Amino acid sequence: MLEKPDSKLEAFLQKEAKERKISRSEWEVLALVTQGYDIPVIAQHIEIQASAVRQRLSQVYDKFGIEGKGPVKLAKLQKLLMSGYQQYQTALPETTLDPNGFKNDWGEAPKLSGFHGRQQQLTLLKNWILQQQCRLLAIQGMGGIGKTSLIVKLGQILQNQSHGLFWQSLRNTPSLSDLLTELLEFFNKEINIPESIEGKISLIIEQLNSFPCLIILDDAEQILQSGYSGKYIPGYDDYGLFFEVVGESQHQSCLVVISQEKIREISLSAQLSSQVHQLVLEGLNAEEVEELLQEQGLKGTATHWQELVQDYGGNPLALKLLSLMIIDVFQGEIGDFLKHRTIVIKEGFREILDHQFNRLSDTQKQILFCLAEAGKPLSLKDLQEKLSNFLSLSKILEPLESLLGRSLVEKIQHQQSNEVLFSLQPLIQKYIKQHQLSCL
């Protein structure tokens, strides 16, 4: 079952449809295309042939003045609509009431221009929140993997069903006191706000119980110390108290924390409570990547798409940036690019890896250097032997666990011996080797 557009997007599309005299059947296709669904999925959903979808789109292209061929026209239409939608949103107040009366404040949340894949994860998250009444949720994974986009999509769905929404980035490391004050004012601008952290947290829990809401905190790794696993920067330990209380208290809302790194209190609470969860987000599969990139003009066989996913770990951002080069240099032919058997790390993605690498401890870096030098999966015993001159096993385990949680290291099982092995994705291995060379 495909999701309806959120209320703001639907209002914008209705305005466009009225101005351009879009028919009811054309509107049906237009709304789904704008959300990023491809032609086969739309055809299946509205139970018509794919050729009929293309025919309706052809009429829509004419009414929007879109020229070109095939995927190019579709990409132009989506770009035009999302650009118009962003302008439309800037004219709206950030804090609004949706048709069901829920208050929404998207704050610094990025605008979602199309969404591909992740249906399994969305189903899982909706089940946790709506059916299991999840109170505290951590979304972890490496940079560029799509954590924020996934939660934006989830927020768009739930804000129209049962929840209000409050979005706050922790990029600028707001104090917990300031964050809680802003959150309390979101619930009620006339509320009497206590001075103490404990008083504010207690009042927040009351509000979370009275008004079902998604509280989303993005970029949470910024309140954690670099080089340590799960330790807060000085003066920010009270965030740990806040997470614990939200996870342990009875209420109707869900606090979602997005981070590249493990949040200690949430990990511990997830082991003790069925209403606290954490999800380590992995890369897109080959079908999802094909859906994401073929509209941009990339072409290849099923094998080509699979190889691309394996080399780049299905990382959406890394692949989007790479696709521009494949289009410019190889006319969009993935096979021609893959013949060169090289991995290219584009600058925009390298900056994300640099940021994540610079936050690692010396021990974590040594583990990555060791795995990159080996060039093959290593058992824990092998890893310990190679690092024995520096580290004991007890000093390896926690940093290794942290690297797994950040998706910088992968865990696989040997088919014959069932032994657990640790390795690097080709993309990460290439980055680590380049980093080593640059330090020589």
The torsion angles phi and psi of 86, rounded to 5 degrees, stand at -65, -40
- The predicted pLDDT at position 396 comes to 87
Q: What is the pLDDT of residues 132-166, one digit of tens each?
A: 999 999 999 999 999 999 999 999 888 766 678 99
What's the confidence (pLDDT) of residue 22? 81
Summary mean pLDDT of the chain: 86
Confidence of residue 97 (pLDDT cuts 50, 70, 90): very low
The answer on 256 and 304 residing in a single domain is no
Of the pLDDT bands very low, low, confident and very high (cuts 50, 70, 90), residue 367 is very high
Read off the pLDDT band of 24 (50, 70, 90): confident
Residue 4 burial (CB < 10 Å; 0-12/13-18/19+)?
Answer: middle
Give the pairing type, strands 164-169 and 213-218.
parallel
pLDDT of residue 433 exceeding 50, the answer is yes
Give the type of residue at 368.
L
Look at residues 234, 255, 280 and tell me which one is the last residue of a structural domain: 280
- For residue 103, pLDDT over 90 is answered with no
> pLDDT of 231-272, one tens digit each?
899 999 999 999 999 999 999 999 999 999 989 899 999 998
Over 60: is that where the pLDDT of 440 sits?
A: no
Where is the domain boundary, 321, 344, 367? 344
pLDDT average, residue stretch 108-120: 84
Place of tokens 């404990």: 198
pLDDT at position 70 over 70: no
Closest listed residue to residue 308, CA positions, set 318, 406, 193, 11: 318
Q: Identify whether the C-beta of residue 140 lies closer than 8 Å to the C-beta of residue 405.
A: yes
Burial class (CB in 10 A: 0-12, 13-18, 19+), 316: buried
- For residue 59, what pLDDT is reported? 84
Q: DSSP for 64-94, please give it.
A: HT--S-HHHHHHHHHHHHHHHHHHHHHTS-S
The answer to whether residue 94 scores a pLDDT higher than 80 is no
- Residues 117, 260: one domain? yes
112 and 256 together in one domain = yes
2 occurs within a structural domain = no
Q: Is residue 1 part of a domain?
A: no
Same domain as 381, residue 418:
yes
In whole angstroms, how far apart are CA 402 and each of 136, 264, 411? 20, 11, 12
- Total domains in the fold of the chain: 4
CB 126 within 8 A of CB 157: yes
Domain-located, residue 428: yes
| 185 found inside a domain | yes
Q: Tell me, what's the pLDDT at 69?
A: 66
pLDDT bracket for residue 93 (50, 70, 90): very low
Indicate if 158 and 17 belong to the same structural domain.
no
Query: Please, what sign has the CA dihedral across residues 9, 10, 16, 20?
Result: positive
CA 360 to chain centre: 21
Which of 256, 280, 304 is the C-terminal boundary of a domain? Answer: 280
Reported confidence tier of residue 2, pLDDT bands at 50, 70, 90 = low
Distance CA 248, CA 261 (A): 22
pLDDT score of 373 more than 60: yes
Q: Is residue 77 part of a domain?
A: yes
Higher-pLDDT residue of 396, 70:
396
What percent of the chain is modeled with pLDDT above 70?
A: 91
Per the domain annotation, does 380 fall within a domain?
A: yes
> Could you tell me the residue range of the domain that residue 141 belongs to?
97-280
* Assigned domain for 367 exists: yes
Whether the predicted pLDDT of 92 surpasses 60:
no
Report the CATH number at residue 108.
3.40.50.300
Residue 129 within any structural domain of the chain: yes
Q: Are residues 126 and 274 in the same domain?
A: yes
Bigger pLDDT: 311 vs 97 = 311
Residues 25 and 124 in one domain: no
Pair (35, 182) in one structural domain = no
Predicted local confidence at residue 88, as pLDDT: 62
Q: Is there a contact between 6 and 159 (Cβ–Cβ < 8 Å)? A: yes
Q: Quick check: 348 pLDDT over 50?
A: yes
Question: Do both 252 and 212 map to the same domain?
Answer: yes
The pLDDT score that the predictor gives to residue 286 is 92
Residues 138 and 263 in one domain: yes
For position 157, what pLDDT does the model report?
86
- How much of the chain exceeds pLDDT 90, in percent? 51
Q: What is the CATH number of the domain that holds 12?
A: 1.10.10
| CATH code of the domain containing 433 | 1.10.10.10
Same domain, 323 and 408: no
Looking at the structure, tell me whether residues 410 and 296 fall in a common domain: no
**Cα–Cα distance measured from residue 273 to residue 126, given in angstroms and rounded to the nearest whole number:** 18
CB atoms within 10 A of CB 428: 27
What's residue 369's pLDDT?
93
Whether the Cβ atoms of residue 203 and residue 184 lie closer than 8 Å to each other? yes
Q: Pick the residue with more confidence: 51 or 250?
A: 250
